[in-house]
Amino acid sequence: MPPSTLLITGASRGIGAAVARRAAERGFDIVVNYARDANAAEAVAADVRALGRQALTVQADVADEAAVRAMFARVDAEMPPLAGLVNNAGIVGMKSRLDEMDVARWRLLLDTNVLGSLLCAQLALRRMSTRHGGQGGAIVNLSSMAATLGSPAMYVDYAATKGAIDSFTIGLARELAGEGVRVNAVRPGIIDTDIHAASGEPNRAQTSASMIPMGRPGSADEVAAAIVWLLSDEASYTTGAIIDVSGGR
Ligand code: NAP
């Protein structure tokens, strides 16, 4: 495959880091976006380079429009042409009921999980769509089983942001289907990553095992496998799909 770049938001750990390693094995050069942890991002980049691929780490909060635009400008200047985007960066709030939440929390969740994904997709498609002179590409959005389960008494606001991601995936897939850009999503169930600490339940993956038909949480790499398949030419006729990676939950 000719050199081509995959930009992964939130790739310094968890699912994003697993995608970076798997996609580098498949021949992508990788942009490792992160928010705070430069050392963790550099460690992922080192793994990518050890696989013989280029890696660029870029600090940018996906909720910060100027930072996201600057990140894409760096990708244009320093990497091979963009061929893929994984909208992976996402956050949850503390476990709460709706009557205990405040508007500032909702704005942060919407800005990060929804607007961040919309903006990154817009800037990516302007580079990849044949309508804009690009060579085509693929976008994978991170939804969640929360979009269908609703996460009552946990974080209905987060669930709502992921419902928005599902709708956005279906619509954008149809909008770009004739322009060489496929758009799909994965809906992870309970995956063993650091994200659960932010909800106040750092051991959620372990304590929730009995709620999962397969009896165990998933790993970041099991989610990454589905994402990298959706990015690959093996998924050439798949667009607008939302794949549940949830152990049957
Ligand atoms: P994670 O372990 O908490 O990792 C989050 C990653 O995103 C980190 O690399 C973090 O970078 C980065 N990040 C956080 N806020 C960011 C921002 N504003 N801008 C840019 N990067 C940001 O999360 P994960 O569990 O891998 O989750 C990845 C995605 O899967 C999320 O969209 C999440 O909603 C979804 N998901 C996860 C699960 C699960 O059970 N884990 C289930 C369903 C869906 P820094 O460390 O540098 O801040």
Question: What DSSP string runs through 214-242?
Answer: TSSPBPHHHHHHHHHHHHSGGGTT--S-E
pLDDT for residue 163 = 99
> What is the C-alpha separation between 67 and 70, in angstroms, rounded?
5
Residue 1 clears pLDDT 80, i.e. is over it: no
Query: How far apart, in whole angstroms, are the C-alpha atoms of residue 190 and residue 207?
Result: 10
Q: What does the alpha-carbon distance between residue 237 and residue 229 come to, in Å, rounded to a whole number?
A: 12
**Alpha carbon 80 to its chain's center:** 21
Q: Is the pLDDT of residue 3 over 90?
A: no
Model confidence pLDDT, tens digit, residues 86-145: 999 999 999 999 999 999 999 999 999 999 999 999 999 999 999 999 999 999 999 999
Q: How confident is the model at residue 213 (pLDDT cuts 50, 70, 90)?
A: very high
Kindly indicate the confidence band of residue 72, based on its pLDDT and cuts at 50, 70 and 90. very high
> What value does the mean pLDDT take over residues 63-68?
98
Query: What are the tokens at 199?
Result: 């909800």
Task: Give the class (CATH, top level) of 5-245.
Answer: alpha beta
With a cut of 90, say whether residue 154 has pLDDT above it.
Answer: yes
- Token pair 């940018």 is found at 60
Strand segments (E) across the chain: 5-8, 29-34, 55-59, 82-87, 137-142, 181-188, 242-245
Which pLDDT score, from 0 to 100, does residue 2 have?
A: 76
Residue 74 has pLDDT above 90, yes or no: yes
Say how many residues make up the chain.
249
Query: Is the pLDDT at 54 greater than 90, yes or no?
Result: yes
Q: Where are the domains of the chain?
A: 5-245
Q: Which residue has its alpha carbon closest to ligand 1 atom 31?
A: 90
Residue 191 DSSP SS3: strand
Summarize pLDDT for 5-23 with one digit per residue, the tens.
Answer: 999 999 999 999 999 999 9
Residue owning tokens 């669930």: 159
The span from the first CA to the last CA of the chain, in angstroms, equals 36
Task: Measure the CA–CA gap between 32 and 41, rounded to whole angstroms.
Answer: 6
Pocket-forming residues, ligand 1, beta carbon under 6 Å? 9-16, 33-37, 40, 61-63, 88-91, 112, 142, 144, 188, 190-191, 193-195, 220
> DSSP strand E in 73-202: where?
82-87, 137-142, 181-188
Q: Which of 7, 8, 9, 13 to mutate to test the pocket of ligand 1 (most atoms within 8 A of CB)?
A: 13
**Is 155 labeled as catalytic in the residue annotation?**
no
From the DSSP assignment, how many helices (H) and strands (E) are in the chain? 9, 7
The percent of residues above 70 in pLDDT, for the chain, comes to 100
Q: What is the mean pLDDT of the chain?
A: 98
